[in-house]
Every structure is written in structure tokens, then in C-alpha cells.
């Protein structure tokens, strides 16, 4: 079975460093929104979101990724910075009161949101735009000296359904080229190299079948010299594949087994972190995938 080498890194966050490469780390998703594609409305109140976040930590999430604005396909940015903060900050503060050592990431493309949430105790900024949609984001992350997840996104959310297709043999070169450009821009703005993690952006401007070449060739991202985060959990391309079985796209809550297959493939390709909704099931899947990587039972 081919298994890609996975280089080791020390990921420098705001107040600590995390070792990457020895085992796969789980990033648990906490959407504090009424309209996210996978679980919109389930955790929209502070109490619901805090309960969910603590449960993910109990299930061994290594990092919590808190988001206060949906980025589902077809949407336009509508949430103000203040509304985003009103959703996210009370949840983060409550979680940190209960679990002082919790590592929290803020899923935002707004520099003002990033600044406020990092000041309140977050360690990481996870920017789906690759630091592009807010011209102040790169310099803000450099100033805050936090961890940064830099994602590849093609176009804006409202453009994804109408973008021209990418030939399958051009998907990986495109992502490699643009992630190289965006990481170079981040470094030029003063973000430390040790603080950067790259995310190829499954589903973000890639239509259904365009995601599979990216998953198959994920190991090629190692040539860029950064840790890799893979976020395939419950994505639409998995639901479209399951239509071959059921005759219709599987909804997000029926994509669990497909998610486990995709994250296993990502780990074997050398992903350092996987972003998931169902931490308990993912923990079991990555334990087996890591055992395969290590060539021994754990």
C-alpha cells in the first residue's frame, strides 16, 4: 500500500507550539451559525455551541475551529464583524473557562474579527480566502504572531456554482501554484514560516469531481514545505459520489462513512491535520490510518 512520507513540524501558535507529523491531529468544527451547509442551526445559540464544543474536546479533538459565518456555496458575505464576534466570543470564552488549555481556532476572513478573537484567547486564524479578502489580514496575523491556516479558494462563494470547470489534470497544478503564491505573500507580510499550515480547500471553488484529483495527489503539496490540513468532512463531492448508490445526492448528515474514507486517504497521503464534524468516528479512523502509516498496530 503506497503511503506518502509525512514530514514533521513544530507549528508555532500564539502562546505555544504543537508537534505535527507524529500522529494526525483532529480539528473539530463548531459552526455557531443558522445556515452552515452541514449543521446550520444545530449549534446557533451560545449554550448549544458550548455544549457541542466541550463534547468534541471530550471526544479528543485537538483543536476547536469556531466559525460565526457560513461559507456554503452560493452565499454572499452578509455577516458584520460585530455579529460574527457576538456569535463566537461568548462561546470561546465559556469553553476556555471550562478547559483552560483548549486550543481554539477562529474561522474568519476578517482582520478585525481575527484581532478581537486572538486577543480573547484564540491561538489560530483559519482564513478560507488565503489572506486575500481583507487586505489587512496578512499584516494582522503577522502582528498577532498566531498560527495561520491558509486555504486555497477559487473565487467567492456566490461564484462557485457558475465557475467554468477545471480540467482534471489542471486541478493540482493550479492549487500548488496559487498556494505557493499565497504562502509567499504571507511570508512577505511578516507571517512566520513556522506559523503557517496550508489547506488545499476541498469544495472551495472546486466542483464535485474536481476534488478527487486533489485528494489523489494531495502528497504533492509537501513540495511546498508546509504542514497540510485536509477538510473533506461532509463535503458535497462525497454526497454526489454516494448518489451512485442511492440514486440521489446524500445529505450532509448521511456522509459520515464517506467522510471517514476521504480522511483516511488524506492521512495516508500525509495530511497532518483533518478538520471534521464527527470527532469520535474520525479519531478511530485516523488511529487506524496512523497505524498503517507507522507500519504497526498501535
- pLDDT (tens digit per residue) in 110-142: 999 999 999 999 999 999 999 999 999 999 999
* Phi and psi angles of residue 273, each rounded to the nearest 5 degrees, phi first: -135, 150
pLDDT value at 37 more than 60: no
Summarize the confidence of residues 7-31 as an average pLDDT.
Answer: 97
The pLDDT value given to residue 54: 98
Distances in Å between the Cα of 38 and the Cα atoms of 66, 78, 270 are 14, 19, 25
Q: What CA–CA distances, in Å, run from 31 to 65, 85, 231? A: 8, 13, 14
Q: Give per-residue burial for 148-164: e unless 16+ CB within 10 Å, then b.
A: bbbbbbbeebeebeeee
Residues 24-37 have a mean pLDDT of 85
For residue 297, what pLDDT band results from cuts at 50, 70 and 90?
A: very low
Q: Which domains does the chain have, with CATH numbers?
A: 13-294 (3.20.20.20)
pLDDT in tens, 73-106: 666 667 899 999 999 999 999 999 999 999 999 9
pTM: 0.94
Q: Assign 158 a pLDDT band (cuts: 50, 70, 90).
A: confident
User: Does residue 115 or residue 298 have the better pLDDT?
Assistant: 115
* From 23, 235, 255, 293, the catalytic residue: 235
| Mean pLDDT (whole number) for 239-247 | 93
Position 36 scores a pLDDT of 52
* Confidence band of 159 (pLDDT split at 50, 70, 90): confident
Q: What band does 237 get if pLDDT is binned at 50, 70 and 90?
A: very high
Q: What is the mean pLDDT of the chain?
A: 93
Lowest-confidence pick of 66-80, 152-166, 204-218: 66-80
Catalytic residue (one of 275, 280, 283, 293): 275
The rounded Cα 228 to chain-centroid distance in angstroms is 10
Question: Active-site residue 235, yes or no?
Answer: yes
pLDDT (0 to 100) of residue 45: 87
pLDDT of residue 149: 98
Instruction: Please indicate whether residue 38 or residue 143 has the higher confidence score (pLDDT).
Output: 143
**pLDDT recorded at residue 40:** 52
Query: What pLDDT, on the 0 to 100 scale, is given for residue 298?
Result: 42
Helical residues (DSSP H) of 7-155, grouped into ranges? 46-58, 81-98, 111-119, 137-144
Strand order in the sheet with 273-276: 196-199, 147-151, 124-127, 104-107, 63-67, 25-31, 273-276, 229-230
The band of 150, judged by pLDDT with boundaries at 50, 70 and 90, is very high
From start to end of the chain, where are the E strands? 9-12, 17-20, 25-31, 63-67, 104-107, 124-127, 147-151, 196-199, 229-230, 273-276
Per-residue CA distances from 265 to 4, 165, 207 (Å): 10, 24, 19
Amino acid at each position: 500500500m503506497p503511503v506518502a512520507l509525512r514530514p514533521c513540524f513544530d507549528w508555532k501558535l500564539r502562546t505555544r507550539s504543537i508537534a505535527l507529523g507524529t500522529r494526525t491531529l483532529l480539528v473539530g468544527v463548531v459552526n455557531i451559525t443558522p445556515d452552515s451547509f452541514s449543521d446550520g442551526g444545530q449549534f446557533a445559540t451560545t449554550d448549544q455551541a458550548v455544549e457541542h464544543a466541550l463534547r468534541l474536546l471530550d471526544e479528543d479533538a485537538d483543536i476547536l475551529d469556531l466559525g460565526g459565518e457560513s461559507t456554503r456555496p452560493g452565499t454572499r458575505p452578509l455577516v458584520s464583524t460585530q455579529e460574527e464576534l457576538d456569535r463566537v466570543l461568548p462561546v470561546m470564552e465559556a469553553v476556555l473557562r471550562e478547559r483552560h488549555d483548549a486550543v481554539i481556532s477562529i474561522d474568519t476572513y476578517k482582520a478585525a474579527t481575527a484581532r478581537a478573537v486572538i486577543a480573547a484567547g484564540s491561538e489560530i486564524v483559519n482564513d478560507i480566502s488565503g489572506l486575500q479578502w481583507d487586505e489587512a489580514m496578512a499584516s494582522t496575523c503577522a502582528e498577532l504572531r498566531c498560527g495561520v491556516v491558509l486555504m486555497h479558494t477559487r473565487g467567492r462563494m456566490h461564484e462557485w456554482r457558475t465557475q467554468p470547470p477545471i480540467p482534471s489534470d489542471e486541478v493540482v497544478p493550479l492549487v500548488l501554484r496559487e498556494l505557493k503564491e499565497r504562502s509567499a505573500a504571507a511570508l512577505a507580510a511578516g507571517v512566520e514560516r513556522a506559523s503557517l499550515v496550508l489547506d488545499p480547500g476541498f469544495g472551495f471553488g472546486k466542483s464535485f469531481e474536481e476534488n478527487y484529483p486533489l485528494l489523489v495527489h494531495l502528497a504533492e503539496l509537501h513540495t511546498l514545505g508546509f504542514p497540510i490540513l485536509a477538510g473533506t468532512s461532509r463535503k458535497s463531492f462525497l454526497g454526489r459520489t454516494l448518489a451512485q448508490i442511492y440514486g440521489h445526492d446524500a445529505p450532509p448528515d448521511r456522509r459520515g462513512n464517506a467522510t471517514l474514507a476521504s480522511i483516511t486517504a488524506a492521512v495516508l497521503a500525509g495530511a497532518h491535520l483533518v478538520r471534521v464534524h464527527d470527532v469520535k468516528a474520525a479519531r478511530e479512523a485516523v488511529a487506524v490510518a496512523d497505524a498503517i502509516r507507522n507500519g504497526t498496530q498501535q
